[in-house]
Amino acid sequence: MSGEVLNNTLNECIPKETKLGFAQCGGAPLVIDGLLPAIVQDYYSGRVLMLAYVNQESYDYMLAHGCTCFWSRSRQELWPKGETSGDTQEIKNISFDCDQDTLLIQVKQNGKGACHTGSYSCFGPEEGLFDVIGNLFTEIQNRATSPAEEKSYTSYLLNEGVDKICKKVGEEAAETIIAAKNASKPELIGEASDLLYHLLVLLYNQGLAPVDVLGELAKRRKVEGNKKPVFGSEPE
């Protein structure tokens, strides 16, 4: 993304009149020792990826290039994220917190993840329900690249190919409809789970990922005044 496009995209969420240097907002210093903490968050899942520090130079770099860049306190130099690993972060949104002393940078994470250990997040694997779809998709990827020695239904589907996978998606969609018509919430939860799983397998088979679908949903999302978000494309 070019700097010009990024500036246009983020025009309303980044206060361009505010310089990080020694600006004040509400009497509170905007930075400490020239550095501002920046929380980096996955734009699509909401998962927190890392915490880093930004100075005026790295802030300007981000606006110009559309990808994250921080200030390395240990090396005392600019740190364009992913410059050597290729695990870059495309900026989708930047905003200040209410006290104007912390940045929230929402990104599309490329490559393996944000952490130098190889983990997607510097805060380790996600626990609980928050990133269950991402974790499930990772398991599907692992089954494709490193098939399990024991019998694996995922490996079986991937080996059978698109026709078998599509057939299962159709079957699970029909069973989801039947569960809804039966007014059985437990049955609907089970069938919807089966449907989502098979859709994830289909996405992988077609060279796609959940982030591609989430990105499309994000593009379709419209907010008008105080109305609730509306989904759907405008008629052509």
In our burial notation (b when 16+ CB lie closer than 10 A, e otherwise), range 31-70 reads: beeebbebebbbbbbebbbbebbbbbebbebbbebbbbbb
Domain locations along the chain: 3-109, 132-220
For the chain of 236 residues, list the mean pLDDT of each consecutive stretch of 10: 39 42 40 83 86 92 94 92 92 87 90 86 72 84 76 92 97 97 96 97 94 82 50 42
What is the three-class DSSP state of 189?
Answer: helix
**Equal fold, 3-109 vs 132-220:** no
**pLDDT tens-digit map of 18-50:** 444 334 333 344 556 788 899 999 887 788 999
How far apart CA 226 and CA 223 sit, in angstroms, is 8
CATH fold for domain 3-109: Ubiquitin-like (UB roll) (3.10.20)
**pLDDT tens-digit map of 114-126:** 998 888 889 877 6
Options 1.10.287.1080, 3.40.50.10150, 3.40.47.10, 3.30.200.20; CATH for 132-220 is 1.10.287.1080
* Phi, psi angle pair for 232, to nearest 5°: 130, 150
Distances (CA, A) of 160 to 14, 157, 199, 201: 49, 5, 15, 12
Which two three-digit tokens encode residue 177? 């409809």
pTM of the model: 0.60
Cβ(82)–Cβ(88) below 8 Å:
yes
Find, among 162, 143, 148, 164, the residue nearest to 207 by Cα.
Answer: 162
